[in-house]
Chain A
Amino acid sequence: EIVMTQTPLSSPVTLGQPASISCRSSQSLVHSDGNTYLSWLQQRPGQPPRLLIYKISNRFSGVPDRFSGSGAGTDFTLTISRVEAEDVGVYYCMQATQFPLTFGGGTKVEIK
């Protein structure tokens, strides 16, 4: 099983400032088809999760461009360029390169 480790657990940020979340996998997420199936999800309080980024760096439909993803192999980062109040919530990374599908433990983004 691929273990996904997110840091930090909590990220207090000032409105308008950047925020970064790290996600590390216990083994490479490069699939035999050449793709890397690492995605990022946002879960606002009381809401279901919502897809932000797929295959490391592709923004999903309707996702603001202040969200970006980067990384390769086993190390990945989600960056919010300028945090807005609506970005408060918990962020998860997920790998789908192999079964079982696994999620990171989550990072809570809150406003200072």
Chain B
Amino acid sequence: EVQLLESGGGFIQPGGSLRLSCAASGFTFRNYAMNWVRQAPGKGLDWVSTLSSSGSATYYADSVKGRFTISRDNSKNTLYLQMDSLRVDDTAIYYCTRYVRFNDYWGQGMLVTVSS
């Protein structure tokens, strides 16, 4: 059974940093691209970033480019999202997804709250 489990969220002040992790199981992690997708409270879905299976190709939404870094450790079956210079409008639930030109599996999500 495919499982994705996010961790690392919480409350942070504007300008601060957080690193989200997504532990994957139930599939051969190194063979799949992965995404981060976020959802602000009461709002719709918003793509954040994509990382290729090897880690060699990365894509970012303009809203996070230069502040967020996606990475993976295929030996640990884990996806990461390093979030720096956080802003109030980054407040959202962050979902890790498996990506095969569609998001076929989703984690339960991790809430990140940016507030002073």
A: residues with CB less than 8 A from B are 35, 37, 39, 41, 43, 48-51, 54-55, 60, 90, 92, 94, 96, 99-106
Q: In the bound complex, do residue B106 and residue A49 qualify as a contact, i.e. CB atoms below 8 Å apart?
A: yes
Q: In the bound complex, do residue B59 and residue A99 qualify as a contact, i.e. CB atoms below 8 Å apart?
A: yes
**Residues of A with C-beta under 8 A to B50:** 99, 101
Chain B 79-116 interface 0/1 with A at a Cβ cutoff of 8 Å (1 = within): 00000000000000001000101111111110000000
Main secondary structure of the interface of B (DSSP, over half): strand
Max count, chain A CB within 10 A of own CB: residue among B45, B59, B105: B45
Q: In the bound complex, do residue B109 and residue A48 qualify as a contact, i.e. CB atoms below 8 Å apart?
A: yes
* A105: min CB distance to chain B, Å: 5
Q: In the bound complex, do residue B45 and residue A51 qualify as a contact, i.e. CB atoms below 8 Å apart?
A: no
- B11 adjacent to chain A (CB < 8 Å): no
CA distance A51 to B107 in the complex (A): 12
Q: In the bound complex, do residue A39 and residue B59 qualify as a contact, i.e. CB atoms below 8 Å apart?
A: no
Given contacts A49-B95, A100-B62, contact A54 B102 (CB under 8 A): yes
* A110: min CB distance to chain B, Å: 16
